Amino acid sequence: MAPSSAEHPVFPLSTVVFPGGVLPMRIFEPRYLDMVSHCMREASSFVICAAQAVEDGGFAAPRAMGTEVRIIDFDRLDDGALGITVQGQARVALDNARCAADGLWWARMRSQIEADDAPCPIEFTQLKQIAAALIDQTGLPYPEAERRYESAAWLSARLTELLPFDAATKHELLAMDDPAERLQRIRPMIEIENTGRRAE
């Protein structure tokens, strides 16, 4: 069945991206090469969401919440694969997800109302330092002038994207509406992870 005009292609991954976030991607599977060609030809968007396994061993399925993204850059990589960079536009809920014959997922999307941003509370100073280190390590294109560490929404989004949480945890954090609540959820998980590393 051909996709309806109300449907968007969906790319389930082990990570998430928030509005304003950037994500470099390596594209090599035919279904996703076709998806990228479609999006570039039509100047349209697709959805990135955290993946969940399916019982029958089929293609990884999308979770209920994702982010509409647009392609902002592309290039041919040294190994011949297509490299693209996408930027998050809006958080969306996914309805009526279906897997087409080629394995590409499609779904209808509903935009979510974003909570008001707020200054980052002082008790999260360590999280600002961690986010800065992660951005520097990954080399992601966040110019210094655009790094809003004092914004609870911006900081919680970058930490969710960059920290090595599993897909289910990243989805849970993406689905939270309150950025300060998201930071409260992230902080103990970082402390637990650091404690585990010291014990090894």
Q: Which residues of 66-100 are buried (b: 16+ CB within 10 A; e: fewer)?
A: bbbbebeeeeeeeeeebbbbbbbbbbbebeebebe
Residue bearing the bigger pLDDT, 59 or 162 = 162
Tens of pLDDT, residue by residue over 120-149, are 989 999 999 999 999 999 988 888 888 999
Output the pLDDT for position 193.
56
Checking if the pLDDT of 11 tops 50, the result is yes
Mean pLDDT, the chain, as a whole number?
89
Tens of pLDDT, residue by residue over 174-184, are 999 999 999 99
